[in-house]
Amino acid sequence: MIKTPKNWFLGQIQGKIASMNPNVQIPAVNPIGEALHHLQMNGAFYCRSELTAPFGIEMPPMAGTLMFHVVTQGECLVEVVGEKALTLRPGTFLMVPHGKGHVLATDSDAPLTPLFDLPRELISERYECLKHGGGGEPTTMFCGAVTFDHPAAVQLLKQLPGLVLVDAWNAPESEWLQSTLRFIASEAQILRLGGETIITRLCDVLVIQAIRSWLSHTQGPSTGWLAALRDEEIGKAIALVHRSPEHVWSVPDLAAASAMSRSAFASKFARLVGEPPMRYVTRWRIYVAHGWLKKGGTTVAQAASRLGYSSEAAFSRAFKRFTGTSPGAVRRTHSNVGDQVPQKV
Residue 10: predicted pLDDT: 46
CA-wise closest residue to 33 among 215, 173, 269: 215
| Whether the predicted pLDDT of 33 surpasses 80 | no
Backbone φ, ψ for residue 297 (5° rounding): 90, -10
Residue 96: predicted pLDDT: 94
| Mean pLDDT confidence for 322-327 | 90
Q: Across the strands, what pairs with 143?
A: 47, 69
Confidence of residue 43 (pLDDT cuts 50, 70, 90): low
Contact call for residues 18 and 24 (beta carbons, < 8 A): yes
As a whole number of angstroms, the distance between CA 327 and CA 342 comes to 12
Residue 98: predicted pLDDT: 92
Mean pLDDT for the chain overall = 81
As a whole number of angstroms, the distance between CA 118 and CA 123 comes to 15
Residue 180: predicted pLDDT: 80
| Mean pLDDT confidence for 216-236 | 81
| Whether the predicted pLDDT of 2 surpasses 50 | no
Confidence of residue 188 (pLDDT cuts 50, 70, 90): low
| Mean pLDDT confidence for 154-167 | 82
Contact call for residues 130 and 52 (beta carbons, < 8 A): no
| Mean pLDDT confidence for 223-230 | 83
| Whether the predicted pLDDT of 204 surpasses 90 | no
Residue 221: predicted pLDDT: 67
Structural domains in the chain, sorted by start: 6-29+223-340 (1.10.10.60), 37-217 (2.60.120.280)
Number of DSSP helices (H) and strands (E) in the chain, helices first: 13, 12
Confidence of residue 170 (pLDDT cuts 50, 70, 90): low
Residue 306: predicted pLDDT: 92
Q: Are strands 56-59 and 164-166 parallel, antiparallel or unpaired?
A: unpaired
Residue 139: predicted pLDDT: 95
Contact call for residues 312 and 273 (beta carbons, < 8 A): no
Q: What secondary structure, in 3-state letters, does 81-147 show?
A: CCCCCEEECCCCEEEECCCCCEEEECCCCCCCEEHHHCCEEEEECCEEEEEEECCCCEEEEEEEEEE
Contact call for residues 69 and 94 (beta carbons, < 8 A): yes
Confidence of residue 168 (pLDDT cuts 50, 70, 90): low
pLDDT tens for 242-253 read: 889 999 999 999
Residue 111: predicted pLDDT: 94
Residue 24: predicted pLDDT: 45
Residue 220: predicted pLDDT: 65
